Amino acid sequence: MAAVESRVMEVDNAQKKTQKSVDREKTCPLLLRVFCNYNSHHRLTEYGRANMVPANELQIYTWLDASLKELSSLVKEVNPDARRRGTLFDFAVVYPDLRRPGYRMREIGTTCSGKKGTDDAVTLGSTQFQIGDYLDIAITIPGRAPARRY
């Protein structure tokens, strides 16, 4: 059993070595296009309509080493409703589907306002995020009834 644990530790150390930190003083930031929605992610069809994207766009200049916790803090700065303790931020990357027209979505983690979580330190670079991909965030505020989608 000890060999398995040490193997896991070796993998974790190898992952840390492959994640390069960015010198934010010398590296130009990227433009991250973020789309927030309450209680659920946007539908993929909302991204695929002739160069149209969902209307509620937030543009953030950041780096590939930005963590999900850092990104949720930036969203909270411009969205007062999301500042409530216990608010969940469910992150997903939206990227072009190379096999057929349209987009695909891959969930990358969840953070919670006011609580520490396992995905807080996940970075954009560690999720295979590519410059030009979109970030879709489903914001769930505690105690608020889910919005109906028609």
Domain extents in the chain: 29-140
pLDDT of residue 141: 92
- The domain covering 29-140 belongs, at the CATH homologous superfamily level, to ASAP complex, SAP18 subunit (3.10.20.550)
What span, in angstroms and rounded, lies between the C-alpha atoms of 121 and 19? 12
What span, in angstroms and rounded, lies between the C-alpha atoms of 122 and 117? 10
Do the bridges between strand 57-62 and strand 30-38 make them parallel or antiparallel, or are there none, so unpaired? Answer: antiparallel
pLDDT of residue 69: 96
pLDDT of residue 140: 95
Tell me which residue has tokens 């433009």.
Answer: 31
Q: Is the dihedral of CA 105, 137, 126, 53 positive or negative?
A: positive
Q: Is the dihedral of CA 104, 119, 62, 138 positive or negative?
A: positive
This prediction has a pTM of 0.79
Does the pLDDT of residue 87 top 90, yes or no? yes
pLDDT in tens, 91-142: 999 999 889 888 999 999 999 999 999 999 999 999 999 999 999 999 999 8
Q: Is the dihedral of CA 33, 83, 80, 28 positive or negative?
A: negative
Q: Is the dihedral of CA 71, 127, 93, 32 positive or negative?
A: positive
